[in-house]
Amino acid sequence: MVRYASLGESVGHTPLVGLPRLSPTDSVRLWAKLEDYNPTGSIKDRAVIHMIKVAEADGTLRPGATILEPTSGNTGISLAMAAKLGGYRLICVMPENTSAERKQILAVWGAEIVASPAAGGSNEAIRIAKQLAAEHPDWVMLYQYGNPANTEAHYLTTGPEILEDLPEVTHVVAGLGTTGTLMGVGRFFAEKKPDVKIIAAEPRYGELVYGLRNLEEGFVPELYDASLVTSRFSVGSRDAVRRVRELLECEGIFAGLSSGAIVHAALAQAAKAVAAGESADIVLIIADGGWKYLSTGAYSGDLDDSEDFLDTQVWA
Amino acid sequence: MSVEVRIPTILRTFTRGEKAVHGDGATLQEVLDDIDTRNPGLKERIVESAALRRFVNVYVNDEDVRFTGGLNAPTSDGDVVVVLPAVAGG
């Protein structure tokens, strides 16, 4: 059934495609779940549509409300679409060092943007959004980092879809940002197939993004529960760019930069399985397509230049 | 014969501005003990009550040590340890 009553209801049910050329052997296979098939082109549509639905149902979100959210881009873009569907005003707090396309797309959808300083990355966006929320108690901050509906969206949809399409799944590799995807998928598999390994791929930014004044200003999303994760890898911009190009070259998939980090972590798991003589079916989540990152120059040209530029950016 | 430890900007006051320091040890704990002898006070910014501080992440060869034994995570010659403050995505 591919007919839906409205755009919001068409979220999810994304394709799971084999990666025959990147898979190392016939018994260690990689599969990509293409989240760019969602209405605004990213996995964030799942969390956003569910967070809005829950907030409307419990009365937090009323007609004509103003929504405020700290975001590095994709959540804001999903919210902008959902705000159109629900008739809300949207204000996004976004780090100034994010790709130009993200700002352009938000503007197209009618969202207002409050820029937060480059130094400190998303931590600063969160701090400023919390400050604005305190000054405007009538605004509604869905707060993706601590909203249980974010995790629940993946528990109810992403996890079940993976198991249905690939009952033999052994690993799920996803990006770590709000931790919503990994927490929801992790909780689903902990209940339904606990031997599945849940692997986190976390982008490692350049020094500017870690420019905190002191360590106490660090941030761990309230949703994060480390017991649901098997292992966690930090992937720098160079490896992410290298892998995103490899994915395009070998499998024809044009993915966003965070997906490069995910491919990198997935290939490490695949190599580990080959070395151990085990078979594996590794699902990796392609969080979005490459369109929003063309202006970063990451898809062509010199790898050193891409790395140098991205190390000043919140690239995932 | 040593492990390279990459230091985040905010902790370089303890390393005279050096981006990376070197230490010896078969575990993360031993490496941190060793670099602390030449960079006094550094370990205390990373470790609190015999555990990693909440807003500090430490990786050995890109893998988060909280999943590989914490301070007892094994280290060997040529390994790269990265220390970073916890930041958000999304």
Q: Is residue A221 part of a domain?
A: yes
Question: Which residues does chain A have within 8 Å of residue B80's beta carbon, measured at their own beta carbons?
Answer: none
Shared-domain flag, residues A103 and A165: no
Q: What is the 3-state secondary structure (H, E, C) of A24-92?
A: CCCCEEEEEEEHHHCCCCECHHHHHHHHHHHHHHCCCCCCCCEEEEECCCHHHHHHHHHHHHHCCEEEE
Q: Nearest-CA distance from B1 to chain A in Å?
A: 24
Q: Is residue A100 part of a domain?
A: yes
Residue carrying structure tokens 């000054």: A135
Cβ distance A123 to B87 less than 8 Å, yes or no, reads yes
The residue among A46, A197, A234 with the most chain B CBs within 10 A of its CB, best to mutate, is A234
**Residues in Cβ contact with A176 at an 8 Å cutoff, skipping those fewer than 6 apart:** A182, A200, A201, A202, A232, B89
Shared-domain flag, residues A16 and A95: no
Shared-domain flag, residues A93 and A206: no
Residue B90, pLDDT > 80, answer no
Residue A296 per-residue DSSP state: G
Residue B1, pLDDT > 90, answer no
Shared-domain flag, residues A180 and A261: yes
Classify burial at A217, counting beta carbons within 10 Å of its beta carbon; exposed 0-12, middle 13-18, buried 19 or more: middle
Active site residues of A: 44, 258
Question: Which residues does chain A have within 8 Å of residue B57's beta carbon, measured at their own beta carbons?
Answer: 234
- Residue A297 sits in a domain whose CATH number is 3.40.50.1100
pLDDT for position A121:
86
Cβ distance A210 to B66 less than 8 Å, yes or no, reads no
Quote the number of domains for chain A. Answer: 2
Per-10-residue mean pLDDT, chain A, length 316: 91 98 98 98 98 97 97 95 96 93 93 92 92 97 98 98 98 96 98 98 90 82 97 96 98 97 98 98 98 93 90 88
* Nearest residue in A to B58, CA atom: A234
State the DSSP string of B53-74: -TTEEEEETTEEGGGTTGGG-B
CA distance A94 to A304: 27
CA distance A211 to A265: 26
Shared-domain flag, residues A29 and A86: no
Cβ distance A214 to B10 less than 8 Å, yes or no, reads yes
Q: Which helix (H) or strand (E) holds A203?
A: strand A197-204
Question: Which residues does chain B have within 8 Å of residue A145's beta carbon, measured at their own beta carbons?
Answer: 88, 90
pLDDT for position A141:
98
Q: Nearest-CA distance from A1 to chain B in Å?
A: 31
CA distance A116 to A122: 8
Shared-domain flag, residues A83 and A25: no
Of the candidate ranges A25-34, A294-303, B54-63, B81-90, the one whose mean pLDDT is the lowest: B81-90
Residue B18, pLDDT > 80, answer yes
The sign of the CA dihedral A42, A47, A50, A53 is negative
pLDDT for position A207:
87
Residue ranges making up the domain that contains A122: 44-141
Shared-domain flag, residues A120 and A183: no
Fold of B3-85: Ubiquitin-like (UB roll) (3.10.20)
CA distance A212 to A10: 40
Cα distances (angstroms) measured from residue A55 to each of A67, A80, A181: 11, 16, 19
Residue carrying structure tokens 């399409």: A165
Q: Is residue A151 part of a domain?
A: no
Shared-domain flag, residues A171 and A191: yes
Nearest Cβ partner for A235 among B8, B62, B86:
B62
pLDDT for position A191:
98
